[in-house]
Structure 1
Amino acid sequence: MSKKIKSIFSIALTVCMLFSMAAFNVSAASVARTATITPSVTEAEAGDTVIVNVFLSNTVNLTSIGYRLTYNPDVFEVAAGTNGDYGIPNYIDTNFFEYYDGLSSLKKFGGFLTIGGDTAGEISVGGARDNGIVAAQNLDNFQMGGFVLMVKADAPAGDTTFSLIDAITSDSGDEVGANMIFTDVTFTVTGAAPTVDKSELVADIAEATTLLNSKTAGDAEGQVPEDDWNLFDAAIDAAQDVVDNEAATQGDVDNAVTALADATDAFNAAVVPSTDPTIAIESGTVAQGRTITLKVTVSNIPANTQGVAAGIAYDST
């Protein structure tokens, strides 16, 4: 690969936006230009490669460009590695590189065109002409980007979007550039929807239903206050709605499992406790030939109780 080609593309691994404005005495108004995002296909499935091209119309007097191509990083990833023939990252389409290299020196941005790597779903591009020289010589459909993306193996089926942000151009003599005009492009990931496991939620609903039916609503001992009973009943219904919803995601199911567990804890805590006196004997173990002290606890003793008697039965052998 020649030094000339290497100088045309300065590849940055960090986001880099270069806006080099020429120093002129006259301030002009930038022309609003139209950018077009053109993917090689409009739909693909996991593992497929998509080339996303970006074009710019009307390049008369153009001196600088800058934009960030955005995509959903949960759906796409940039191609890894470096193209050995060109020494450029694989996420830069070689056809775009050859197109750009084939332009005459008056129609491209020389060594100032810089492309940044993958940063949270963005590829950044910036470029400027030397000293504000009239650029691009009226190329009506100037290709200012071509990038290789791959649909991830676990990409969810459905629509996603390619877009541009901070997209701006400037003309010779400009102090402030003009925003590019563009339209977001919708891309469809095909294939089966990700598998959602609802088995844990189904089992939890069955257990919760059994628990609910084992208690009656009321304020007596062992019952559950009516409001708490109804809340638990509604929580079970909400969990069942998630099971019945074919569009529910794994996240929806996991959240429903957590919500039902919290509702179960609240229901158990709401059970009206017993008011009868109870006696508890602290259990323990002891080695042969040693002694043990057993602790007897009496609870729920009525206020007018005069005394308590209790006996302990044990195995004398």
Structure 2
Amino acid sequence: MVARIETFPDVVVEQLVYLLEPNDLFQLSLTSKTLFSIYSNASVWRSKSLHDFGNLFHIYTLFTTSTGLELYPDIQEKFEKEPTDWCRYYLSKNASVNEQEEEKLMDEADSEYAAAQAQLKQFQNDGNAAILNEVAAKMIRILDVFPAHGGCYYILAFILFVLNQLEEAVILLQMGRSVDSSFEPIDELEEEIQRILKGYGGEEDEPPLLANDTTLSAPLTEALLEIFSNFDKDKDNALNNKELGNFIYETNGSHPPPPFLRQMGQRFGSNSQGWLTKDGFLAFYLEQTLDDPSETRSDLGVHGYDPHTLKKRMEE
């Protein structure tokens, strides 16, 4: 008995899409109406395009919607919308990649990647968000011609991590791992993100620290307001320099300089006298919790609260 290829399950026949070159697929499709129908399907060419060249359309949408960064017009034009003709897209993309020398392409990609790493260090020094936009654009351009560069996924995910878009960062890290499982920094960054996400939500049966990405949970807010009230001796809903200084000393064991106390109010919220308000106190803890939830739980422990239940410990 001779098995005919068109009698195989569609899913098996479709796997050939990933293995064959376009010309070979075209020749195969001419051997039967069934194969012609399968290999003329737009979804098949979409799958082959994303398999061979990566899903930069998804990366672009994920990155821009989560960060609010506006990447350069050429990138927006290429990746804001998926192609209407996936077969034509694949053929054009395949021709452009084949025309380039792979070794030269790798050298250029590695050079751009090294430059991006240096730019991220510059961002950590001066906090200029324009650097993130430039680095992200650079990484997407590299992936456009070298989709298996795991380092690009890592840097894009790191930018999301810096901007506290943790779930989205994990998605990019997983995409990067699928193209380069040997790139160890991907695992290291994901472990750090999972540690933070676990800190937000707590262990099983622990109340979370956050209600969402921008709001402290009700149990944590209640505990923080109780702590604030304990240090607000004059009950004016603000911590003057002495009160704030006492809070910081009891929390960290050191006396802050006066300029630091003024900056706290200016940055997070102050009254007309420049003193840290109740809302400013909560804003400070929101930022700290987003950055390192373990530090917030530690602070609660210092002030007599159980870091796991967020409840006041019973006095002995």
Of structures 1 and 2, the one with the larger relative CO (CA 8 A, separation 6+) is: 1
State TM-score, norm by structure 2. Answer: 0.23
Higher strand residue share: 1
User: Which is higher, the Rg of structure 1 or of structure 2?
Assistant: 1
Higher helix residue share: 2
